[in-house]
A and B are shown apart, each in its own frame.
Chain A
């Protein structure tokens, strides 16, 4: 505990003397010394808690996760950090975000998230991911250490990649390259009218046509993947991995029928790795999702019910309802301005049906499995990447979430950010005036 305080004081002093900066703190250097976190409350991310744990990691990988009251470890040569009474978590994962692709929603020049045209599987979010985005450090400060950065727009938006959130450039950041293809399933209904006079909602007359276009594209992609084409077609080339399971198909759909049709269509092309993202109506097609073993990335727990008569807490309890069915559920936060609040989505699901450790899984191990990065991330288990953080209190509750230290690949991440800097700047101003 004392060590932590000293560390923080040192950091504060460092900052106090350094001039105000606009840029992000430098990424942490590689782990040199093995580290042991002693006596913390370890939430493993797999449903288990060790109330008094010892966690060691070396060369960026977790070595030991054990009950400190039962094991004796020789910690010679380790940097030992006492975190008694504090909580340790595996790094939280944002599974669908435009973080690093957009800096200011309203300023077009800062937006790199969508391309022209309807079918762009070859478009890669990774190369546009801006590691110097000022938003990234603020997200990290709440325990989010990994993110799947995905393009949007059109029917097939492009390819997503998973990144860790402390890097010099996208090459350093990448955890999984081009692992997902994002498909926006067409809407059955169409809104009419405009903002101040919303007209009636009508059937989307284009629906069948749009679905037909998707099938045509899938037909072409499958034939391309199975054949030996003479010329390279970038779009179809990017689709190849879907058919051999090396890439995942993320289908964005909210309406019950759209969810079913999207999945059925993908299955028609024998795509093995299918994930539904959004899925507001998942409660209406629970059995279908369960029978087809389709994992779900639920969008925005903090949203309004989709229909006036829906249970007012439907968005809050939906994850629990699906979990109870044995469906693999992760949570996604689709709003750049506040996606650092992902932990509190999980907290809400714990108030509505799940226990806290199950809720934690929705933003750690479940998400890692859904994204296909469970071998390196999602739990505090030996062999996995030492991507984890320490919070003074329960990190799923904003009342107690206070991240004091975070490690990505064993690297001790600088938790400073622009907002803290401005806070300090003005706090100092007012204090000086008194």
Chain B
């Protein structure tokens, strides 16, 4: 059915007619009084104050008064709203409304890397630092985009350019179709940040940890720049960055762990970021709450997957499925935890999903009050704009919406959206409710007719009986009606359409028309009474909480619903590989208490201990992987510069990598997460224990020494990156030495510069500019002072000798050479220097520098007294490090006891953790593995793996988990099918991208190289 839209047109024409005062007038002045009163309304003055039978009075775009029994001054246009509802206009704090985008610059496939910023002028060295940009300078009102948001009920938005790591300021604007100068409410309302470099083609940063390091350094630089006087140079970006500290700072994080990362970064600099989250905050709600920050969350709930085909459905991961179910619960869970949050339309590809999704969130337990708060008060509050928007108190912008009823109910219609006193019509408010039961009398016949559906869009139906109804084509306006129908619609052969045209007659309609044969007839459509209330289907009496699956930690397959806890364990009668003087002892008991090994001996007993029968089994300390790249997010290489000692793997540890669990199942209990090998001086390591289910911070090993990755050879000279990678210094082993020497020279000078400055008196300091704090050099100074230790990727003997000599010249030791496949050629020198070797058991062939790699390497190094470990550098191999250790028995005849130490005690020594890990000894951490067989055998598998006395992997429990996963999938699949049948849109089943990092993964450091390799 259609409605005449003349009224809508008329409505739009009466816009505001004045312009900015300072502008000249062409013609005569046409200033009019713009005073409106809305009476008999149910008004939400703010999200928690509701007035019924109230009046809203606005004048010149502002609220003048709101309340009951208001006196309406003469000369006011009064609208009786007859009980309709008024809400404050909604606010979206995260849009790019009206802001011109930066152009994406295409780079040719084989372009040489862009080392420097392409931005001309006195700006930051890095193109992704755009703090100098003010969105207000690029803003213009945009009718189409404004309408899209207004149609959803929004009256004001924060607009910023979502491009870059520091993005500059955002501007708060009203969504009126007026000139820019009229609609801007706060020119500089906020400062914006992200971990995404956007359209910058500059190489640095290429990784998430690089983006974090860049921001950290920029914080420091902006503060230092601010203190310089007079300024020896001009950097508008740093100046602006500093000036923005006073503003609300909004950080875009693409997932909940990055939200935690952003908050942690803020804490370092006393900044509380507002986080533009990803809608998955529920996955780690406790930590999210602890940030103390406010959130801006999207409603881009995923569509259900098409799961009809079991072979396709297999490719959808459990976490994808669970997220589909959980996403609508996110706002309610945040509200329940009292985490302050605003809601944005950002992230919704199809903005028309906004209300259906918000109502889903309400169905999932979000209270209407909390929802309204998130759309009005909270965004206004976060942007320090409460005096302007978010409520309808006196003096606020006249931003409000008029609705047919409760905004959060399905059937509610928004009639009008007023922005700064400008009315925008969404739906016709003057519509009469014609719904009801009628009798249609025409040509001597009488037909029962039902008019139902939405009030503004009624549907006319011819009733045959209680269940069979036929649609009558109708065209309806306030006064006129056209009806076309077939009196015998069930009989398709007899198309005897009757055409009628009539007019309103009180509650009835009457008029005339023609039968199919052309005969003229009169008709009456007589109102018989209201529709019978349809009995509401009894909703299942489940609370929202009960209806959904449980949250698992981490939010991937094999996550726990409850993270296991440490218990007292007594392992009886096992063959214990002590890695101590006692060697491998049979029929031995081990008692675990409070996360530590407390006793080793015969016939031990303990109260309350869980007894584990170790008969016929082998108990060892947990495997320690000296070289791992699991549980890392956003790249392992920041190889865009030769020296990147400022980047930290610790910033990007991920708790959500299923490989943590898989490796526990292979007996691994601790790992060094290393930066890759793309540059001579890489990033700082993170040492973790595989505490599956815990957060990244909880996985880190408390009080562990600090490490850093160095690298030598083909990778750092970019030998295999493609021919266009030939401009970054170094391109030869000769250059690598110079990078190292220069770095330590600079570090020494830097240390001295600070020493000198720090020795100044207070007065002198006031007169002297402080040196710049340089995080890259600080890490190198730590190396010089034995506060940070090197693990250096290395292959051939010449470069290994070189690095040892450089180290000796600067008075420190290289702690560990990793890979070190030619270590056997200079094992004696390594032993003398004090360097350890952490190597592969038998890899070679993959590049030129491993041509002389031999599987006897570990045995030869070990024989010369080098502390030798076998590492993985590979998520798969780490599941079988016991087998790799066994290869040293095969190649070079290492004893089984010593071979085993190469994946336990020796890596513990290399990581300076041997005082608490690496052997089965009273007092050490209870990081233990119970094996079904000699652990060096191909037939061995871990039965239980424990970290700090917590059993994180148990082969029997694993079976239960598989069953639970399969049941949970089955439940979710049936939910999705139900959703699809209920008319929800769906998406094709496809796998989630998983990334397994290797430090050898050089191709792909740049998009263009990846393309080459994909051919």
A351-B938, A422-B854 known; A398 and B988 CB under 8 Å? no
Closest CB in chain A relative to B877 CB, distance in Å: 8
- With contacts A106-B847, A430-B864 taken as known, whether A304 is within 8 angstroms of B990 at the C-beta atoms is no
Q: Are A307 and B314 in contact (CB under 8 A)?
A: yes
Q: Mark B939-961, 1 if CB is under 8 A from A, else 0.
A: 11100000000000000001000
B61 at the interface (CB under 8 A from A): no
A336 within 8 A of B: yes
Nearest chain B CB to A226's CB is how many angstroms away? Answer: 35
Most B-side CB within 10 Å, residue of A202, A302, A312: A312
- A-contact 0/1 string along B707-746, CB 8 Å cutoff: 0000000100001100000000000000000000000000
**Number of cross-chain contacts by CB at 8 Å:** 172
Q: Does A419 contact B (CB under 8 A)?
A: yes
Contact A304 B993 (CB under 8 A): no
A residues within 8 A CB of B958? Answer: 312
Q: Which residue of A lies closest to B310 (CB)?
A: A284
Binary interface encoding of chain B residues 971-1015 relative to chain A, with 1 for a CB under 8 A from any of its CBs, else 0: 000000000000000001011111110000101110100100000
| Residues of A with C-beta under 8 A to B1010 | 194-195
Which A residues are in CB contact (< 8 Å) with B312?
A: 257
When the two chains form their complex, are residues A194 and B994 in contact, meaning their CB atoms are under 8 A apart? no
Q: Binary interface profile of A, 396-434, with partner B (CB < 8 Å = 1, else 0)?
A: 111101100000000000000001101100110010010
Across-interface contacts of B843 in A (CB, < 8 A): 337-338
Best-surrounded residue of A307, A344, A401 (most CB of chain B within 10 A): A307
- The reply to whether the CB of A33 lies closer than 8 angstroms to some CB of chain B is no
Contacting pair B206 A196 (CB below 8 A)? yes
Binary contact track A303-314/B, C-beta < 8 Å → 1, others 0: 111011101110
Alpha-carbon gap, A420 to B556, bound state (A): 45
B665 within 8 A of partner (CB): yes
- Complex interface: chain A residues within 8 A of B848 (CB): 104, 106-107
A200 to B886, CA, bound (A): 39
Chain A CB within 8 A of B901 CB: no
In the complex, what residues of A have CB within 8 A of residue B288's CB?
A: none
Chain B positions 840 through 857: 1 when the CB is less than 8 Å from some CB of chain A, otherwise 0 = 001111111001101110
Interface bin, chain A: 35 or more
A163 within 8 A of partner (CB): no
Whether B1004 lies near A194 (C-beta < 8 A) is yes
* B661 close to A (CB within 8 Å): yes
Mask of B553-571 contacts with A, CB within 8 angstroms, 1/0? 0001110000000000000
A338 near B851 with CB under 8 A, answer: no
Decide if B394 is an interface residue (CB 8 Å cutoff).
Answer: no
Q: What residue of chain B has the Cβ atom nearest to residue A421's Cβ?
A: B854
Q: How far is the CA of A198 from the CA of B997 in the complex (A)?
A: 12
Contact in complex: B846, A351 (CB < 8 Å): no
Distance in Å from the Cβ of A261 to the closest Cβ of chain B? 11
* A77 located at the interface, meaning its Cβ lies under 8 Å from any Cβ of chain B in the complex: no
Q: A304's closest neighbor in chain B, by CB?
A: B876
Q: A104-B848, A200-B990, A257-B311 are in contact. Are A398 and B886 (CB under 8 A)?
A: yes
B319 at the interface (CB under 8 A from A): yes
Provide the residues of chain A in CB contact with B828, threshold 8 Å.
430, 433
Q: Could you say which of B319, B634, B875, B995 has the most chain A C-beta atoms within 10 Å of its C-beta?
A: B995
Q: Is A201 an interface residue (CB 8 A)?
A: yes
Contact digits for A199-211, partner B, Cβ 8 Å, 1 yes 0 no: 1111100000000
B311 and A256 contact, CB distance less than 8 A: yes
Binds A, one of B602-610, B809-817, B887-895: B887-895
A336 to nearest B CB, angstroms? 5
User: Which A residues are in CB contact (< 8 Å) with B634?
Assistant: 196-197
Task: Verify B847–A105 contact, CB threshold 8 A.
Answer: yes
Closest to B968 in A: A309
Residues of chain A within 8 A of B557, CB atoms compared = 308-309
| Complex Cα–Cα for A296 and B990 (A) | 25
Q: Give the residues in chain A near B965, CB-CB below 8 Å.
A: 309
State the CA gap A397–B937 with chains docked (Å): 6
Q: Judge whether A203 and B938 touch: CB under 8 Å.
A: no
Q: B317 near A: Cβ within 8 Å?
A: yes
- B244 CB, nearest partner CB in chain A, Å: 27
Q: Are B315 and A307 in contact (CB under 8 A)?
A: yes
Q: Flag if B876 contacts A307 (CB, 8 Å).
A: no
Chain A residues with Cβ below 8 Å from B207 are 196
A397 close to B876 (CB less than 8 A)? no
Task: Say if the beta carbon of A191 comes within 8 Å of chain B.
Answer: yes
Smallest CB–CB gap between B213 and chain A, Å? 15
Q: Does B883 contact A (CB under 8 A)?
A: yes
State in angstroms the CA–CA spacing of A285 and B309 once bound together.
13
Encode contact with B along A278-322: 1 for CB under 8 Å, 0 otherwise.
Answer: 000100110000000000000000111101110111000000000
User: Could you tell me the distance between the alpha carbons of A4 and B842 in the complex, rounded to whole angstroms?
Assistant: 26
CA gap between A348 and B994 in the complex, in Å: 25
A347:B847 contact, CB within 8 angstroms = no
Asked if B827 is at the interface (CB within 8 A of a chain A CB), the reply is yes
Q: How far is the CB of B934 from chain A (nearest CB, A)?
A: 7
Partner of B934, one of A105, A196, A399: A399
Please state if B1005 and A350 are interface contacts (CB–CB under 8 Å): no
Contact flags A98-119 to B (C-beta < 8 A → 1, else 0)? 0000011111000000000000
Tell me if A399 and B938 are in contact (CB < 8 A): yes
* Interface residue? B825 (CB, 8 A): yes
Q: Which residue of A lies closest to B824 (CB)?
A: A426
Q: Does B617 contact A (CB under 8 A)?
A: no
| A residues less than 8 Å from B659 (CB atoms) | 304
A430 surroundings in chain B (CB, below 8 A): 827-828, 860, 863-864
Complex Cα gap A304–B663 (Å): 10
A270–B842 alpha-carbon span in the complex (Å): 44
- In the assembled complex, the Cα of A430 lies from the Cα of B860 at a distance in Å of 9
Structural contact, A399 and B993, CB atoms closer than 8 A: no
B584 beta carbon closer than 8 Å to chain A: no
A135 in the interface, Cβ–Cβ < 8 Å?
A: yes
Within 598-632 of B, Cβ neighbours of A (below 8 Å) are at none
Bound together, the chains give a CA A203 to CA B305 distance in angstroms of 14
Residues of B within 8 A of A199 (CB): 993
Q: Is B658 an interface residue (CB 8 A)?
A: yes
Which of A135-171 touch B at CB < 8 Å?
135
> Interface digits, A250-276 against B, CB 8 Å rule (1 contact, 0 not)?
000000110000000000000000000
User: A308 to B990, Cβ gap below 8 A?
Assistant: no
A194 and B1014 CA atoms in complex are apart in Å by 10
Could you tell me if B854 and A351 are in contact, using CB atoms closer than 8 angstroms?
A: no
Contact in complex: A107, B847 (CB < 8 Å): yes
A105–B828 Cα gap in the complex (Å)?
31
Which of A104, A202, A312, A341 sits near B847, CB closer than 8 Å?
Answer: A104
Whether the Cβ atoms of B988 and A203 lie closer than 8 Å is yes
B764 to chain A, nearest CB (A): 46
- Chain A positions within 8 Å of B317 at CB level: 307-309
Contact pattern, B 296-330, Cβ under 8 Å of A = 1, otherwise 0: 00000000000000011011011100000000000
Q: Does A340 contact B (CB under 8 A)?
A: yes
**A336 partner residues in chain B, CB cutoff 8 A:** 845-846
Q: Shortest distance in angstroms between A410's beta carbon and chain B's nearest beta carbon?
A: 27
- B558 contacts across to A, CB distance below 8 A: 308-309, 312
Cβ of B252 to closest chain A Cβ, rounded Å: 15
Q: How far is the CA of A41 from the CA of B131 in the complex (A)?
A: 75
User: Does B936 make an interface contact (CB < 8 A)?
Assistant: yes
Cβ-based interface call for B373 (8 A): no
Pair A312/B845 contact, Cβ less than 8 Å: no
- Contact assessment for A311 and B845 in the assembled complex, using a CB-CB cutoff below 8 Å: no
Q: Determine whether A229 belongs to the interface, using a CB cutoff of 8 Å to chain B.
A: no
Shortest distance in angstroms between A8's beta carbon and chain B's nearest beta carbon? 14
Closest A residue by C-beta to B884? A398
18 pairs, A vs B, C-beta closer than 8 Å: A104-B851, A191-B993, A195-B1003, A195-B1005, A302-B876, A304-B659, A304-B996, A305-B662, A307-B314, A307-B317, A312-B558, A312-B661, A338-B842, A347-B939, A348-B938, A398-B938, A399-B936, A420-B856
Known contacts A257-B312, A397-B938, then 5 further A-B pairs from the complex at CB < 8 Å, ordered by chain A residue = A307-B317, A308-B318, A308-B658, A309-B317, A430-B860
Q: Which 10 A-B pairs have the closest CB atoms?
A: A195-B1004, A309-B557, A347-B938, A106-B847, A196-B635, A198-B993, A423-B856, A419-B854, A397-B938, A194-B1010
